[in-house]
Structure 1
Amino acid sequence: MKAMICTKYGPPDVLQLEEVDKPTPKENEVLVKVRAASVNAGDWHLLRAKPFIIRLGIGLIKPKYKILGMDIAGTVESVGSQVKGLKLGDEVFGDLSRCGFGAFAEYVCVPESKLAIKPASISFEEAAAVPTAGVTALQGLRDKGKIKAGQKVLINGASGGVGTFAVQIAKRFGAEVTAVCSTRNVELVSSLGADHVIDYTCDDFTKMGQCYDLILAVNGYHPISAYKRVLNPHGVYVMIGGTEVQMFQAMLAGPFISMSGKQMGNLLVKPNKKDLMEMSYYLEAGEVVPVIDRSYPLSRLPEAIAYLEEGHAQGKVIITMDE
C-alpha cells in the first residue's frame, strides 16, 4: 500500500510517499480501507515536534509514529476474530490519535472501539472532517464550557476547523453566538448561524464593552487577562488553540484567576465513540454540516499541511486516496 512516511522531524517536505506492507488486524481490530483523512493542527505539531516537550511522548530524537494522521473515513476491509459490532463493507469514521495514528495511508488497522458507523447522508470527505475538530468543539462547549440555552457565547477563530463546528453546535444548544473571524470569512460564519460576527481586522472584541458567559478561544493572540475582562462574573473561558504562550497562560495562570469566580482554563480533548456518535446524530439531522476548504490527494500531503500551517483555512483540509 502507499503511505506517507515520516522518519525525522521537520517541515512538511520531510514526508515521503512510499510503498509499505498492508497491516494485518489484531483480534480486536478492523482493517480499514481509507477513503479520506483530514489534516489537523496536531499533525504539524507532531511533524515538527513543537512544542519541544511533546517529544517526551512521541520520540525524543526521531518520530515514534512513522505514519501520521488522526481522522479517517473509509470501508471495513477485514475484521479480527474478537470484533462483534463491525463487518466487512461497513462505512466507518474515527479518531486515531489514541491508537497510534496512521490515517495518511491507504489502509490502517484500528481498534473497533475507536470507530463509529459513518452517517449515510454524508460523503467520506465530510465524515473525515468530523472526528477531531467536531468532538473538540463539542467537548469544549458542553463539557468544559457547560453551555446553556440563552447564554452569550463568543467563538474566537470561528472560521477554522474547530470553529466552524463550534458555531453550529453552540447554536444547536440554543446559545446567542458571536463569531470572531477575518473579513474574508464573515459571510461563511454568518451562513453557519452566528448571530453576530466581529471582523477582527476592524474591531477588537476585548475592547467593545460586551461581556460573555462563555468564550471558546480556538485561535487568536489576546492575553488571558484580555479574555478575563470580557467574561461575565461567573463566565467560562476555554482555550483550545493559539500560541504556546497562551497555552501556558491557561495552564499555569488559569487556576489562580479562576479563584475569582471566572473560570479560565484549557481543554484536554478525550476522543471517544460516544461523542463521535453524538456528532453522527447532528450530521444525520442536518444540524451540523462539515465545512471543507479544499482537498488534496495523498501524494500532496506536504502541500496540504503547509497550507493549514498558514492559518487561513476555511473549515477543514481533506486528504483523499484518489489521485
Structure 2
Amino acid sequence: MGPHARLVIGTPASPGMDFCGRVVSTGTGATHLSSGQLVFGCHSRPMKFGSLAEYLTIQAGLIAPVPEGVQVDHATGVGIAGQTAYQTLAGYVKRGDKVFINGGSGGCGLFAIQVAKEMGCHVTTTCSTRNVELCRGLGADEVIDYTAVEDLVATLKERGVVFDHVLDHIGLPSELYFQSHHFLKKGGVFVQVGASAIGTFVGRVGWPSFLGGGKRKYVIFMFTNTHEHIVKLGEWLQKGVLKVQVDSEYDFEAAVKAFEKLRSGRARGKIIVHVAKQ
C-alpha cells in the first residue's frame, strides 16, 4: 500500500481489489445471487477492508457469477486489469483498426492485446526481450523489443501515420505523446492508462500543441467498475478468447512473499493469493 492510499483509507488495512469467492449472505436487493454461488469482480477503489481477507462486503451490482468451466484463479485476475483493457478500447476502435500498445507485457497490457484482437484490430506492442514470445502468444501481430531499438519514437515514425489508436501503459519515452502525430492518424486518440510518474500526466496535458505539445487527442483513463463489463470478461474467459497469464500462486500465510514478488517488478502475469481452499 502506497503512502497516498494510507492517507486516504487509514491503517491498519487489508489490501487487494480483485477477488473470486462464494457468496455467504446477501441483502434484500441482491435477488440475482444466492448463498454458496461462486462470483468474481473487484472493488472500485482501494478499501480499508480489501480482498485479501476471508470475507468482504461489496455491492451486488459489481460482481457476476463465474461462468461454467472458468477456473477460479483466472476469474480472480480479470477485475481491474481486464476492465481497464476493455474500457480503453471499447468505443474507440472498430474492426480492422491498427492499435499501438506501449507496454504489452504488464497487467493491463496482456489483456489489452487480447481484447483488441477480439475486437478485430491489428496489434503492435512493446515489451522487453524476455516477454516477446509471451506477447506474440497472446495474439500481438507485431512486437517491438524496446531494449533492442535505440529510439522507439523514431521506430514508430518510420512506420508512418498508420495507427488508429494508442494505449500508453508506461509513460516513456517522454516524447511519445508529443510526437504521436507522426504515427497516430488524425482523429485517433492517445489514451494514457498508466505512467511511472504523475509528472507525465501533468506535462502531457499542460503543454500546448503550438509550443511543441501533442497534436492528437489526449485522454487520461479513469476506471469505472461496471457489471456489464465484468459479465463480458467472464464470457470471453469461458469462450477461451481471453486468457489469464498466472505468474505465481501463494497461500494466505505467504501473502507477504506475494507482495514482495509484486514489488520486484518481475512478475509475468497475475500473482494469486489463495485465502481459503475451494
Using structure 1 for the length normalisation, give the TM-score.
0.76
Q: Is 2:237 aligned against 1:283?
A: yes
Q: Deviations over 1:13-72 (max 9, x none)?
A: xxxxxxxxxxxxxxxxxxxxxxxxxxxxxxxxxx1224xxx667x14xx44x71221001
Instruction: Tell me the residue number matched to 1:140.
Output: 88
User: For the Cα contact (< 8 Å) 1:239–1:250, is it kept in 2?
Assistant: no
Instruction: Tell me the residue number matched to 1:31.
Output: none
User: For the Cα contact (< 8 Å) 2:23–2:36, is it kept in 1?
Assistant: yes
For 2:209 and 2:273, the matched residues in 1 are separated by 39
Q: Is 2:154 aligned against 1:200?
A: no
For 1:190 and 1:275, the matched residues in 2 are separated by 25
Deviates more, 1:110-119 or 1:177-186: 110-119
User: For the Cα contact (< 8 Å) 1:254–1:264, is it kept in 2?
Assistant: no
Instruction: Tell me the residue number matched to 2:44.
Output: 97
Instruction: Tell me the residue number matched to 1:216.
Output: 167
* Counterpart AA for 2:170: N
Q: Is 2:203 aligned against 1:249?
A: yes
* Counterpart AA for 1:214: H
Q: Deviations over 1:215-264 (max 9, x none)?
A: 1111252113244543222221111112222232344448999x976111
User: For the Cα contact (< 8 Å) 1:149–1:173, is it kept in 2?
Assistant: yes
Instruction: Tell me the residue number matched to 1:234.
Output: 187
Using structure 2 for the length normalisation, give the TM-score.
0.87
Instruction: Tell me the residue number matched to 1:106.
Output: 54
Deviates more, 1:209-218 or 1:268-277: 209-218
1:192 Cα deviation after fit: 0.6
- Paired residues in the alignment total 267
Q: Is 2:31 aligned against 1:84?
A: yes
Q: Deviations over 1:84-120 (max 9, x none)?
A: 1100111100111348352000111222111101122
For 2:53 and 2:208, the matched residues in 1 are separated by 39
User: For the Cα contact (< 8 Å) 1:236–1:264, is it kept in 2?
Assistant: yes
Sequence identity (%): 33
Provide closer, same or farther for how the CA distance between residues 73 and 252 of structure 1 changes in structure 2, counting only shifts above 3 A. farther
Q: 2:257 aligns with which of 284, 303, 307?
A: 303
For 1:301 and 1:256, the matched residues in 2 are separated by 50
**Alignment gaps of 5+ in structure 1:** 1-46
For 1:239 and 1:215, the matched residues in 2 are separated by 8
Moved >6 Å (runs of 4+): 254-257
Q: Is 2:118 aligned against 1:172?
A: yes
Instruction: Tell me the residue number matched to 1:9.
Output: none
Q: Which structure ranks higher in relative contact order (CA pairs < 8 Å, sequence separation ≥ 6)?
A: 1
